Amino acid sequence: MDGIRAPAVLSQRKRQKGMHSPNPPCSYEIKFNKFVIFIMQRKMGMTRRTFLMELARRKGFRVESELSDSVTHIVAENNSYLEVLDWLRGQAVGDSSRFELLDISWFTACMEAGRPVASEMKYRLMEQQDQFPTLNTSEPEVPSFAANKVSQYSCQRKTTLNNFNKKFTDAFEIMAENYEFKENEIFCLEFLRAASVLKFLPFPVVRMKDIWGLPCMGDQVRDIIEEIIEEGESSRAKDVLNDERYKSFKQFTSVFGVGVKTSEKWYRMGLRTLEEVKAEKTLKLSKMQKVGLLHYEDLVSCVSKEEADAVGLIVKKTVCMFLPDALVTVTGGFRRGKKIGHDIDFLITNPGPREDDDLLHKGLLLYCDIIESTFVKEQLPSRKVDAMDNFQKCFAILKLYQPRADNRSYNASKEFDMAEVKDWKAIRVDLVISPFEQYAYALLGWTGSRQFGRDLRRYANHEKKMILDNHALYDKRKRIFLKAGSEEEIFAHLGLDYVEPWERNA
């Protein structure tokens, strides 16, 4: 060979499948011809890979759909150096040294810069994890903690509410929310996953060495951690908090019934505050948005555990008037042990014959938006990680009367001064009706946390070749639905240790 790298030897079968064929023509201009990127689908999934490929092409990068001899950079997510080599051997590639093997953090940095960035050591997949020099060998090690044993999936980590790294995770969640407002899923998830890992750590991070070997610590994440360690705060997170667009979206999306799309519309109209929204006569608000603005102060205030318990008694008592055997379970953050929240979620099911279809139509609430069930029997679980489920549900506002300081209720005193301080509070309540046979899956999904659910579904798909949603678990290899009468059985189907609800605060 005399120092010349031989092209990879590819099997005839791979050639017939088009491994050397060019990508289909697209309308995007290629600005960076020297860089030919291939994104591995392993542990990533087809949907996310397709999204990343499209994003890179829009920014002028050349991206190959199939591994070919022209590829220069292979990008992998949550795969080690040895795992990538093993995958390449499976593709009949004999010489992997001609590729740059890079972590997804390099791709993320390129997308943020809008151009290729240097493939520095921190981006490269390497055989040894200890690729960084020790800065101070006299510093004590964290006892009994192996960073390289920490799973990339939060469903394999037990995360309580005891967060030792709040100053970091608060900054990450600000960054994630800002990217969510910009509908940039890649960067949003990068920060959410990093926050999830740091919430799990049984110690506070005080130096960069503490995060070596941990998963989901991309370049942007490390930069913010380093700045907070050195300066005490993140200038990037501070800039976001002072950004006009972020502040407007933060206000708009805090209104019941307003999401990112509506916020974008209002912002483009020149609206910046809720006062301006209320004053804009041309706006056509939905019924939900009108109610959200009417009860805004109540709905943005925190709901206490005591208030959640009081609402729970009302809901259970009322449901049992119609379905005496019904099970009513509080889900969401309160089931995970939180003392405060912004709404209360209830899962309702009936062990007996199906008599719950009309429950939400009984007129139990002052305001409700009912969404009918769209579930079809034998329907495969959704492949979309954040897909809304198909249960009948209602997003409601309940009027909770509160005790007066003089122990008189509003009803007992209303004959007096009607202008008195109001004795009730508007509280957001979500009611979800689940068929009894799907109850375990619904309970798992609606308990959260959102990141825990994301990772559980990602783990099922990538590691077990199963599809999980709030209705069912489907084994793609055996082509069967796996029944479960409890959350413990679902974890067992997935080969996971059971994680208690209060350990799912990812």
219 annotated ligand binder: no
Q: Report the alpha-carbon angle 201-202-207, nearest 5.
A: 65
Average pLDDT, the chain: 84
Residue 296 has pLDDT above 80, yes or no: yes
Q: Are 211 and 147 in contact (CB under 8 A)?
A: yes
Parallel, antiparallel or unpaired: strands 480-481 and 473-475: antiparallel
All structural domains of the chain, each given as residue ranges with its CATH number in brackets, are 12-123 (3.40.50.10190), 147-240 (1.10.150.110), 243-294 (1.10.150.20), 303-503 (3.30.460.10)
Residue 132 scores a pLDDT above 60 = no
End-to-end CA distance of the chain: 52
313: exposed, middle or buried (Cβ count in 10 Å: 0-12, 13-18, 19+): exposed
- What's the mean pLDDT in 458-471? 94
Amino acid identity of residue 55, one-letter, is: L
Residue 18 has pLDDT above 80, yes or no: no
Contact between 472 and 443 under an 8 Å Cβ cutoff? The reply is no
DSSP 22-77: PPPP-SS---EEEEEEEE--TTT-HHHHHHHHHHHHHTTEEEESS--TT--EEEES
pLDDT band at 2 (very low <50, low <70, confident <90, very high): very low
Under DSSP, the state recorded for 141 is P
pLDDT of residue 7 exceeding 70, the answer is no
DSSP H or E run through 269:
none
User: pLDDT for 420-430, tens place per residue?
Assistant: 577 899 999 99
| pLDDT at 487 > cutoff 80 | yes
430 is in an annotated binding site: yes
Please give the torsion angle defined by the CA atoms of residues 127, 128, 131 and 135, in that order, rounded to the nearest 10 degrees: 180
Three-class SS state of 378:
coil
State the catalytic residues: 343, 345, 430
The reported pLDDT for the residue numbered 136 is: 41
Cβ-based neighbours of 318, under 8 Å, separated by 6 or more? 364
pLDDT digits (tens, 9 = 90+) for 21-68: 344 445 788 999 889 999 998 888 788 889 899 999 989 999 999 998
Q: What tokens does 23 get?
A: 């990508």
**Phi, psi of 372, rounded to the nearest 5 degrees:** -75, 155
Amino acid type, 151 = S
pTM of the model: 0.72
| Contact assessment for residue 403 and residue 317, using Cβ atoms and an 8 Å cutoff | no
Indicate whether 133 pLDDT > 50: no
pLDDT in tens, 362-406: 545 556 777 787 777 767 787 766 666 878 888 889 888 877 554
Annotated binding-site residue? 243: no
